[in-house]
Structure 1
Amino acid sequence: MKGKRSLGQNFFINNNLGEYIVEKVKTSNTKSVIEIGPGLGFFTQRLINVFENVTVIEKDSELANNLRLQFPNISVINEDFLNFDLNQIMEIPSTYFGSLPYNVSKPIVKKIVESKSFTNPAYFIIQKEVAEKYIYKKPYSTLSLTTHIYSNCKKILDISPDSFKPKPHVNSTLISFIPKEINIQNIPLLKDLITLSFRHPRKNLLNNLKGTKFQNGSQLYKTYRPSDLSLDQYIEILKYSL
């Protein structure tokens, strides 16, 4: 079956690497896994050997029907993950996993790490360039800062286009998201502050926050660019602004 470009389908085909990836996912030490975008079932076939409960969420109706026939003992949900109510699968602690379509990987990751169901490590294969923006290190990005509120991200390995069919035009990365204990107040305001600070990434903080409710706090680091500041420093700015 050919991948549908409209759904960003690139099917994983590297058997040896697939086994290695599933072994990494297995280290989460949960009995249940939720696979997002299983496609033809390449990883599903391997996940059922190491997890007691496997749930897959597949947007493509044709693929979902094939998965039901191929794996009658798993739960197949034929729905767009971005529209799916995660409260339906919160009862059993689970590990999230998926080789995600490049064009929707960021909203999928955001939905998961910000949800109450995110209580165990999550592992995703995403575009390498995007994966690098999640890693919490200088120069910081909006993505790394806002995601670090909820999780610690770790790059596991890079994956070449040869591991997929059809071959994508970009490299991929397997990345993990480990949930953190959240002790931050005013998270919505903190995310607003970070977003406004990056309106013009090359300008300093004072210019970006001028005329906003965070203007007073920007005085703490007024000559810094937004990518220079850590999450703790943004929290400090927020406290000074309130």
Structure 2
Amino acid sequence: MDGAVHPGSSGRSGGRDPRQISVARLAEFGHVPRRSLGQNFLVDDNVIRVILARLGCEKDDVVIEVGAGMGVLTKALVAVAGHVHAFEIDDKLLDPLRASLEGPQGMPANLTLHMEDVLNADMGTLEPPPTLCASNLPYSIAAPFLAEAVCHLPSVRRYVVMSQREVAERLVARSGGKTYGSISVWMRLHTRVVETRPLSRTIFRPIPRVDSTLLTLDRRVEDELVEREPQLVRSVIDMAFSSRRKTWVNAVAAATGLPKEAVAAAGAEAGLAPCLRAEQLEPQQYLALSRAFLDRGWQSAAARSTAYRPSPKRAR
């Protein structure tokens, strides 16, 4: 077996392929999938069962879903969760979503449908607070959303998400490789990789031109500094990776305007050799460097650096 999730042959309604039912619903409402929004809708029941099994959802859990699409995953989540927060940015999908989710009593009482961009939402104020995340993430927002979620949704203990394979590789990469970057460090400071599983392209409609991966991540904060000074830690990581061809010392000095000798001294205190590049540093070493910045009162230098990227919500 290759470990990939392939289209299911069971769970069909009246002998009809569930993929065709979703395609027909799209046509019924005259909706053309928008490539600009990364709309490749999940249409396979077998994959839904795999997601639910990995998620381990209990009746008192609250699930956040990003990219509700046609409501295929949403409907399955509503059936097992205490509450579901489903985000969908495309308001043209509201009618298809309602058609998929409405029952004899109307929309499910345990569902909150957020027709907005999740990156502009204040996720930390969601009520009830999410405890799990299950999503077919639009390719363009997979990394930004997860970077925000691990920071602003500390109540989420597990993520089971689909993402473009290349993005997934960056999210779980280890030091030393070309795919290891700032998002890799950030995610490893907040999560533990439970499983990565390849997905067949044919479980989506329209069929994407890229491969996808199902990621299962458990929350595991590496150090209290990550939660106490998240923007400092994130900016230190971003600064080091801002010029990958440079050593971390040169990259950080250039980004902050601090003297290179002072930056190197801070690194020496943290146990970092000045000759290393950003991709050679372990997540724990970035924590040590962040602590050295904090000890020297360099938070403002980090915040005004050219590499510093505040979160979308906090930037407003």
Decide: shared fold, TM above 0.5: yes
Contact 1:128 1:172 in 2 (8 A): yes
Residue 216 (structure 1) aligns with: 265
* 1:90-129 mapped onto 2 (5 Å cutoff): 90-129=127-166
Which is higher, the Rg of structure 1 or of structure 2? 2
The number of equivalent residue pairs is: 242
Q: Are 1:8 and 2:8 matched, yes or no?
A: no
- Asked if 2 retains the 8 angstrom alpha-carbon contact of 1:35 and 1:57, the reply is yes
Residue 170 of structure 1 aligns to a residue whose secondary structure is coil
TM-score normalized with structure 2 length: 0.69
| Alpha-carbon contact 1:134-1:143 (below 8 Å) kept | yes
User: Alpha-carbon deviation of 1:177?
Assistant: 3.0
Verify the 8 A CA contact 1:28 1:121 in the aligned structure 2.
no
* Unpaired stretches in structure 2, ≥5 consecutive residues: 1-25, 27-31, 102-106, 297-316
Q: 2:216 maps to which residue?
A: 176
Residue 280 of structure 2 is matched in structure 1 by 228
Kindly tell me: are residues 205 and 76 of structure 1, through their superposed partners in 2, closer, same or farther at Cα, counting changes over 3 Å?
A: closer
Partner Cα distance (2:122, 2:206) in 1: 31
Decide whether the 8 Å contact of 1:146 with 1:191 is kept in 2. yes
Provide the C-alpha distance between the structure 1 equivalents of 2:71 and 2:156, rounded to a whole number of angstroms.
25
Of 146-155 and 13-22, more deviation after overlay is shown by 146-155
Please point out which of 17, 24, 33 is paired with 2:63. 33
Tell me the amino acid that sits aligned with residue 172 of structure 1: S
Counterpart in the other structure of 2:116? 79
Structure-2 separation of matches of 1:146 and 1:117: 14
Distance (whole Å) between structure 2 residues aligned to residue 208 and residue 117 of structure 1? 31
Identity %, equivalent residues: 26
Computed over aligned residues only, the root mean square deviation of the Cα atoms, in angstroms, reads 2.4
Structure number with the higher strand fraction is: 1
User: 1:206 maps to which residue?
Assistant: 249
2: CA distance, partners of 1:187 / 1:79: 25
TM-score normalized by the length of structure 1:
0.88
CA offset at residue 92 of structure 1? 4.0
